[in-house]
């Protein structure tokens, strides 16, 4: 059974850092990504990474502050978030197995982890 389990969310101050983890089980995915959804807004793409080809994509809002990386041995995806801003407050979701990499068509989703950034 395929499962994605996120962890690492919480409360941070503006300018601080958090690292999100997404542990995958059941299979290894070539394409994985992070999305987020703020209250009252649609879910939006944050970052994505592929194993084959090593392609990495970031949303403009994440460039220079966030880093997506994978630990292949642990079958885990990470999102290192630095220089956090209050507008980064959202539920962050891990996604895997994209039909339209990197932005859409992901077959599997985690349950989400809350990130709250205070000013």
Q: What is the pLDDT along the chain (119 residues), one digit of tens a residue?
A: 999 999 999 999 999 999 999 999 999 999 999 999 999 999 999 999 998 878 999 999 999 999 999 999 999 999 999 999 999 999 999 999 999 999 999 999 999 999 999 99
**Please, which residues have CB within 8 angstroms of residue 60's CB and are 6 or more apart in sequence?**
none
Name which of 50, 46, 51, 59 is nearest 20 in CA terms.
Answer: 46
Query: Residue 100 has what pLDDT?
Result: 94
Query: Residue 93 has what pLDDT?
Result: 98
Query: Residue 53 has what pLDDT?
Result: 75
Query: Residue 82 has what pLDDT?
Result: 98
Radius of gyration of the chain (CA): 13
């Amino acid at each position: 059974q395929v499962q994605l389990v996120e962890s690492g969310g919480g409360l941070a101050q503006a300018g601080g850092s958090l690292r999100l983890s997404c542990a995958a089980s059941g299979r290894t995915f070539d394409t994985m990504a992070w999305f987020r959804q703020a209250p009252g807004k649609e879910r939006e793409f944050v970052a994505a990474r592929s194993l084959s080809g090593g392609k990495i994509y970031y949303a403009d809002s994440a460039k220079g502050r966030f880093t997506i990386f994978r630990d292949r041995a642990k079958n885990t995806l990470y999102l290192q978030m630095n220089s956090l801003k209050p507008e980064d407050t959202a539920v962050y979701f891990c996604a895997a197995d994209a039909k339209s990499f990197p932005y859409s068509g992901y077959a599997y989703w985690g349950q989400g982890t809350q990130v709250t950034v205070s000013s």
